[in-house]
């Protein structure tokens, strides 16, 4: 079973996760690494809510690999949310064909934006899974660019609703997009943290030219 499959498994087992020896005093299910890392993000509460379930998974990894695995987990969370949001928007649009012109047009544009967002986050996660010491900076730059573009796509969706009168559709879309943006902002913050780790390639993460 590969790492991405394990990550998906662990997020569904949140309720079953028991306190560990590295647990935070404020949240017994949250490891010290997750707690301290989330404090650096723009939305720490959402960070904790979305990543605490990965604590056991992270602690099972070698200490020098935990930082990279945490960043992958954060990006995986945003990808899952983006896919769910896209599926919701497509179904909502299909089930509500009576939307007025401005609502329908804005929602259609958002569906396209969401699709681009999923692709960009997927590319980011794929890059993080194959980091290499000789191309670390270049790869991390790619991830930063793609995740920033994903955030821009969400802004574009909200911009499309600026001229739409307040109502149920606008409220639903804005709520989902704003939450997605917070997840992505947190993930990007952790990505930047990993990218700026000058000692990252010097602490045993790399073995020859093989990815970890």
pLDDT of 104-115, one tens digit each?
Answer: 889 999 999 999
pLDDT > 80? residue 92: yes
* More confident: 7 or 37: 37
Q: Is 189 left (phi over 0), alpha (psi -120 to 50) or beta?
A: alpha
- Residue 13 banded pLDDT, cuts 50, 70, 90: very low
- What pLDDT was estimated at residue 2? 53
Going by pLDDT thresholds of 50, 70 and 90, the confidence category of residue 63 is: confident
Is the confidence at residue 25, as pLDDT, over 50?
A: no
Q: Please check the confidence at residue 32 and state whether its pLDDT lies above 70.
A: yes
* pLDDT band for position 20 (cuts 50, 70, 90): very low
Least confident residue range of 28-42, 75-89, 90-104, 163-177:
90-104
Given a cut of 60, whether residue 117 has pLDDT beyond it is yes
Confidence grade of residue 30 (pLDDT, cut at 50, 70, 90):
confident
pTM: 0.81
What's the confidence (pLDDT) of residue 95? 84
The residue among 41 and 9 whose pLDDT is bigger is 41
CA 189 to chain centre: 10
pLDDT of 16 > 50? The answer is no
Residue 150, pLDDT > 80, answer yes
What is the architecture of the domain spanning 63-202? Up-down Bundle (1.20)
123-149: pLDDT as tens digits: 999 999 999 989 999 999 999 999 999
The interaxial angle of helices 136-160 and 168-195, nearest 10 deg, is 160
At residue 107, the pLDDT reads: 92
């Amino acid at each position: 079973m590969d790492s991405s499959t394990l990550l998906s498994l662990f997020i569904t087992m949140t309720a079953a996760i028991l306190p560990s020896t590295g647990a935070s005093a404020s949240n017994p299910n949250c490891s010290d690494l997750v707690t301290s890392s989330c404090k650096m993000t723009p939305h720490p509460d959402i960070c904790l809510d979305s990543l605490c379930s990965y604590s056991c998974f992270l602690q099972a990894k070698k200490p020098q690999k935990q930082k990279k695995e945490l960043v992958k987990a954060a990006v995986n969370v945003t990808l899952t949310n983006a896919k769910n949001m896209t599926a919701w928007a497509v179904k909502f649009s299909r089930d509500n064909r009576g939307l007025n012109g401005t609502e329908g047009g804005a929602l259609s544009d958002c569906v396209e934006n969401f699709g681009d967002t999923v692709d960009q986050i997927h590319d980011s996660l794929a890059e993080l899974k194959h980091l290499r010491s000789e191309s670390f900076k270049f790869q991390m730059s790619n991830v930063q660019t793609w995740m920033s573009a994903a955030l821009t796509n969400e802004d574009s969706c909200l911009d499309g609703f600026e001229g739409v009168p307040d109502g149920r559709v606008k409220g639903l879309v804005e709520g989902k997009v704003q939450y997605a943006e917070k997840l992505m902002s947190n993930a990007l913050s952790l990505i930047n943290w990993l990218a700026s780790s000058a000692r990252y390639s010097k602490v045993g993460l790399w073995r020859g030219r093989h990815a970890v």
